[in-house]
Chain A
Amino acid sequence: MKETKNAAAVETASKKDGAKAMDAKLKTRKLRTAVGAVVFVGMAAGLIAGVSMGTLSGFGWDTFSLLCPLGALGTMIATKTMIPRAVVSLLLIAALVLVFGRAFCSWLCPTMLIDRVRDFFRSPKKRRELAEKKNSQIKAVSQQEIEGLKAAKAGHACGACGKCQPVKHGKVDSRHAVLGGALLSTAIFGFPVFCLVCPVGLSFATVLVIWRAFAHGDATIGLILIPAMLVIELVVLRKWCSNFCPLSALMNLVGRFSRTFVPVINDEKCLETARATSCSKCAEACEADINIRHPEFGLRTMADCTRCRNCVDVCPTKAITMPIFVGKKAGKTVVEIPEPVMDDDLRPSLD
């Protein structure tokens, strides 16, 4: 009884100050923003001051460099030659992605910073609206599943009602098509086409073009065009990272084999499995559009985990951890309801 009261308290508390409370909980997010900002500012300053350490497209010093994997692939396809440094970079990056998944996306990528800036300038009202929309959407999924399972328990065949039929995830999605298109165009026209519009490159180019305008009076259309391309990609095209980015597609191809630092849910602590209470805060907080509790209902799968730790931070019962090694694939398809303590006043509602 005490436990159920606790759950109810958590539920109401989270409802009251919704988005705000969630933001406050995301401690790692602040750290990630800081890490990303320091790296970006450092590299941009190096670019301006002429300190040879490269940018995120090709980090390194002297003859060593860690190249962007898409750039490395592109340049080799375009020149039709094996380039030793590009091959070494590809292998290094593959190893990194195997261990850390798409961590680049949530810890280093400048688009993450641009997103934060956008968040900052959003009106509180708009922010609340967005949070509420995502909340209702994800709550609906978890409630659907719990309802379906209850119905199944009552003797109604689960599959028949169609309520808990999951989204079928293909092995590829729209990003892989963009990746294919980029490589196809590179092969046909013989130059790394995507590099022209890559948001990572454009972010650094924006700094450089602005700097040159001030320091050298170098006025160019690029002053408008380069930031404009960034805005088109990140603002006009919705969900660049989950739907368009070919780099994220490339990392997804390797990331799906990663078994390290993947978030796992302790079912004994999770509100949904332990108490049959629809919560799904983890799915709401996920920046990679993964529904970690109900993986089959998310837009993306664990292959896209960016190790952002939002789910770990936001979980009201601290049920999610990111162990160094996860033996089997994390995340169950269907929540199994243990004999739950079902009070009617505990019934989850949508708002």
Chain B
Amino acid sequence: MILEEEESMAEEKKEGAAATSADVAEAKRTPGGGITRRGLFIGVGSTAVLLGLGGLRYAGHNPINRPPGGTDEAHLVSGCIRCERCYEACPRQAIVPAKIEDGLLGMRSPMLDFNTGNYCDFCYEENGGVPLCVQVCPTEALELPADYTVGNPETGETGDIIIGTAEIDPRTCLAYRLTGCRDCYDACNYGAIELKDEGGANPIPYVVEDKCNGCGACQAVCLSLSSGSIKSSERAIVVRPIQG
């Protein structure tokens, strides 16, 4: 008699718990199958979300300066798992994670940021011209052809690896304001910047596109934002990624 009473109490408690918690429902047996209704819901819901995320591929993102070997944008996006090894490997800390503002698809993928004063020398100095980011990339998202030459600061050769091309904005460039600034010209190792009126009172730099490999040395030294009291979102000389 006592036993029965206790049992019915136990039943009641169990049922009370079941009503308040989904977990108990889960612990209960599911007739005829392994996957619960909740499991099915999770599976279908998550698949839908992941397919939706996949659709970001078509949303695209702003053009981004990629590290060496990453200029094939489609290949980079396919291969990159955001493991962050290239950021660590970059001896000049020129590689940073891309921001969400540049597009969700590219979020946290590797981007070269020259505004911090760093630029890419294709690891000529640090690793004999084998870019370390390419070397460490475990998924070959950054990939160079078997045969290539890198920009050589000693001989001034441009090399095969082109990150982008520098572009000067005459509206913000200090040299156009006749200040005599020629920092970018001095920074360029590849003779990609020449001066109009060289030797004159107001030399004005321009980019020789054939010689520019987008290393970013010019952008890294550009003073327009810091000393020109100019309102602009970017420096007067910036590297633009090569499209397509």
**A residues in contact (CB < 8 Å) with B:** 46-47, 50-55, 57-58, 60, 62-63, 65, 67-68, 71-72, 74-75, 78-79, 81, 83, 85-86, 89, 133, 136-137, 140-141, 143, 147, 165-174, 176-178, 180-182, 184-186, 188-198, 201, 204-205, 208-209, 212, 216, 218, 220-222, 225, 243-244, 297-299, 347, 349-350
Contact = CB atoms under 8 A, between A and B. Distances in A.
A65 B88 contact: no
Nearest to A222: B100
A194 B57 CA distance: 13
Nearest to A78: B78
A220 B112 CA distance: 16
B199 interface: no
A83 B44 CA distance: 30
Contacts of A174: 35-36, 38-40, 42-43, 46
A216 B40 CA distance: 45
Contacts of B30: 167-168
A165 B32 CA distance: 12
B23 A137 contact: yes
B107 interface: yes
A304 B88 CA distance: 33
B88 A182 contact: no
B79 A68 contact: no
B29 A188 contact: no
Pairs A-B, 8 closest by C-beta atoms: A170-B34, A177-B43, A181-B47, A58-B83, A189-B54, A71-B81, A174-B39, A185-B54
A167 B81 contact: no
Given A174-B43, A209-B97, A212-B96, 20 more contacts: A50-B93, A52-B132, A55-B85, A75-B141, A86-B138, A165-B29, A172-B34, A178-B42, A181-B46, A185-B47, A191-B57, A192-B78, A194-B50, A196-B82, A208-B84, A216-B116, A222-B99, A297-B27, A299-B26, A350-B9
Interface residue range, chain B:
35 or more
Contact of B39 (A83, A147, A177): A177
B190 to A, nearest CB: 26
A167 B85 contact: no
A351 to B, nearest CB: 8
B178 interface: no
B88 A167 contact: no
B50 A58 contact: no
Interface in B73-129: 74-75, 77-85, 87-91, 93, 96-97, 99-101, 104-105, 107-108, 116
Contacts of B195: none
B6 interface: yes
A297 B24 CA distance: 11
B157 to A, nearest CB: 27
B138 A60 contact: yes
Interface stretch (B13-21, B169-177, B181-189, B230-238): B13-21
Contacts of A222: 99-100, 107-108
B17 A133 contact: yes
B201 interface: no
Nearest to A72: B139
Interface of B: 6-7, 9-10, 13-14, 17, 21, 23-24, 26-30, 32-36, 38-40, 42-44, 46-51, 53-57, 74-75, 77-85, 87-91, 93, 96-97, 99-101, 104-105, 107-108, 116, 132, 135-136, 138-141
Contacts of A349: 6
A259 B217 CA distance: 57
Given A193-B50, A205-B97, A209-B97, A74 B81 contact: yes
A180 B29 contact: no
A220 B100 contact: yes
A185 B91 CA distance: 35
Given A133-B21, A185-B54, A54 B85 contact: yes
5 contacts: A67-B83, A78-B79, A85-B139, A218-B99, A221-B100
B39 A243 contact: yes
B136 A62 contact: yes
Contact of B46 (A89, A177, A209): A177
Contacts of B139: 58, 67, 71-72, 75, 83, 85-86
A57 B84 contact: yes
A185 B42 contact: no
A177 B42 contact: yes
B87 to A, nearest CB: 7
Given A53-B88, A177-B44, A65 B17 contact: no
A177 to B, nearest CB: 2
